[in-house]
A = this chain, B = another copy of it.
Amino acid sequence: MSLDKFFNPESVAIVGASQAVGKVGYEVLTNMIAAGYEGEIFPVNHKASSIEGLKCYPTLEAIGQTPDLVIIITPAKIVPAIMQECAKLGVKSVIVITAGFKEIGEEGRRLEQQMLQIAKQAGIRVIGPNCLGVIVPAYRVNASFAGALPKEGTIGYLSQSGALLAALLDMAKAHGIGFSKLVSIGNKADIDELDLIEAFGNDPQTKVVAGYLENITDGNSFLEEAEKISHRKPIVLIKSGSTSAGAKAASSHTGSLAGAETAYEAVFERSGVIRCNSIKEQFDYAQAFATQPLPAGNGVAVITNAGGPGIMAADAIEKRGLTFAKLTDETIKKLGEFLPAAANLHNPIDVLGDALAKPYELAIDVVLDDPNVHTVLVLLTPQAMTEAVATAEAMVKIAKKKSDKPIFASFLGADAITPAVEVLRANGLPQYDSPESAVLTIKTMVDYVKWRSRSKRVVKLFPVNRRKVEAVIERHLRNGIREVGETESKEILSAYGFVSPKGSVVSTAEQAANVAQQLGFPVVMKIWSPDILHKSDCGGVKVGLTNAQEVMDAFDLMMYRIPKKLPDADILGVLVQEMCRKGKEVILGMHRDPHFGPLMMFGMGGTMVEVLKDVSFYPAPLTEDEAKQMLINTKTYKILQGVRGEKGVDIDAIAEGLQRLSQLVTEFPQIQEMDINPYVIGPEGTMPIAVDARMSVEKI
């Protein structure tokens, strides 16, 4: 549903408008008037007959027509009654600025539900409650108490914190940043971040979707919708409040490594959302996206009038993994024609401390033509001869002439460069307060371009035996068993094409020796108990047993020692298993995030996984490219490729394992967590072995 009436209403009623300076009801009304809003404004307040020269109505009904938008600023208690009036009148769009709802506890929560129910029944969309309001500079709408109308621009902003929005507007003004729309979403009783991201995504006036969020209401829809929009325009978000959340007990390695923060990182990576660590970083990125073309590659040329900042830029370019563009001979020749002999004609191009605007202009012009240069970064320090303003003007001139490559400025200083910075900003050239900030922004743009050029996501479906998995899970759930043991986990995995080592559970030392003889030495032995999740922790794993005597000794020792250590564990016997051929040990895992659903994990396997933490996460279902990228995102990947003369292992086979697992957890939402660890993988063409596995299931 369109939110147009919130952004471009033909008439606005303000219920709770006040004539007392300083009151929110006064601020909102006067902000609307001061913004130059051209539609009709109807103040509603039964205590006044007119406010600020406008006729005041005792009730909504008394207006005698249905306003496009109603803003409510009355005490919380009467908001449901006002909403009822709105319903009666056929109002479709309401902003509830009033606080005192969900955020104050149970009583407020009830009130919020009551209000929401009335709205839903009447088909009314609601922004708020407990919000700052809505601002649309282009339509001179300032339905907020956030202060003066900001500059018009192409950034759409949504904020879950009203106070932050107020600070942000103040900062935006100082930085000359303009907005298409600003919305404070408050308690997001009805309209939430997703509605607004969609609205901004479809809004032709919005080039960049920006926002501050503390949580995400519907993780799956967010993932899907954000991904679609990111293909059209960048989404730059601050997401706070994730770090302390992930302290949940988990029975799997994957679960214990996957915090809330990991889920957000993985979901943002998949959906192309650009994460910002601060308002400053967000402004830096948003301004670049709003004003500059996307870079066609990662080659950066730096033009400077001082060595120091040039080196700082070079450091940052290297650190961020961008390329310090190698200029062509032709470029260097051309630069030599007008730059003085002492100037550095190679990147970073040093036009020297006494450079006027002209050499800057010529250098930028020449460098923009170089095919190895995809972005130009212009640094300037205010020295005795420096013509900062003229240099800014020259940049503007060239940017207008050659508009296919992004141009960034980092003029260093304060008062000495302010007039020049104003010229840059007024003409849509982004200015950064340090070379590092500019370089980080360039890197962000390059990454976004790379994200957009990914091939289309196609999730492969493997032929599997779903019925077998259903049966095993059903049996567990019927018996109230949530932890699926090794054998049953492997049964499930085998239905999805995984291979496990052969073996049997035995209950005497002699049986153990017999089974081992049949399997062939060496063998592995593992304690068998539904109560022991990490077998090696209690001495419940022995590997490389080479004869019957060793097997019998191991059996007896486990049976003697483990019940002493874990008197409450129900021990069913010992698993005797063939020992796998040598190979690399990796871990494949899944953790079901409460907001975003199944998150796949890949990493170095074995007992070190939680120590080295060399793992990567990505939301399921995985495509082949994504599965491979998960491998590449770890250091383990290099080890898998073969280090120092060693042969590499079958990378494709691991990626296929991840995709099969991704299919399993997508098709069976009952599976909450799982590890295959170790997953032993050999050279190309050999079948990987799921040596150990565990999972937990839940009724859904």
Contacts and interface: CB of A to CB of B under 8 A. Distances in A.
24 contacts: A22-B384, A27-B384, A145-B384, A147-B416, A163-B308, A164-B308, A167-B306, A168-B412, A170-B382, A170-B413, A170-B415, A170-B417, A174-B414, A174-B415, A212-B308, A214-B307, A240-B311, A240-B315, A241-B314, A537-B644, A538-B645, A607-B644, A611-B638, A612-B635
A279 B318 contact: no
A311 B214 contact: yes
Given A145-B384, A639-B608, A170 B414 contact: yes
Contacts of A415: 170, 173-174
A142 to B, nearest CB: 14
Interface residues of A, number: 79
Interface string A621-662: 000000000000001001100011110000000000000000
A323 to B, nearest CB: 12
A238 B166 CA distance: 34
A537 B171 contact: no
Given A163-B353, A167-B306, A278-B437, 15 more contacts: A27-B384, A104-B342, A163-B307, A163-B309, A167-B412, A167-B416, A171-B414, A173-B415, A241-B311, A244-B318, A278-B312, A278-B436, A280-B433, A538-B645, A612-B635
Interface in A155-195: 159-164, 166-168, 170-171, 173-175
B611 A166 contact: no
Interface string A37-67: 0000000000000000000000000000000
A664 to B, nearest CB: 26
A173 B534 CA distance: 61
Contacts of A114: none
B279 A434 contact: yes
A182 to B, nearest CB: 15
Contacts of A414: 170-171, 173-175
Given A214-B308, A607-B644, A607-B646, A243 B315 contact: yes
Given A414-B171, A612-B614, A639-B608, A381 B163 contact: yes
A173 to B, nearest CB: 6
A534 B646 CA distance: 12
Interface in A206-247: 212, 214, 238, 240-244
A502 interface: no
Nearest to A412: B167
A534 B318 contact: no
B306 A163 contact: yes
A269 to B, nearest CB: 19
A52 to B, nearest CB: 17
Contact of A308 (B161, B171, B412, B612): B161
A167 B414 CA distance: 8
B308 A413 contact: no
A581 interface: no
Question: Max chain B CB contacts within 10 Å: which of A145, A164, A308, A436?
Answer: A308
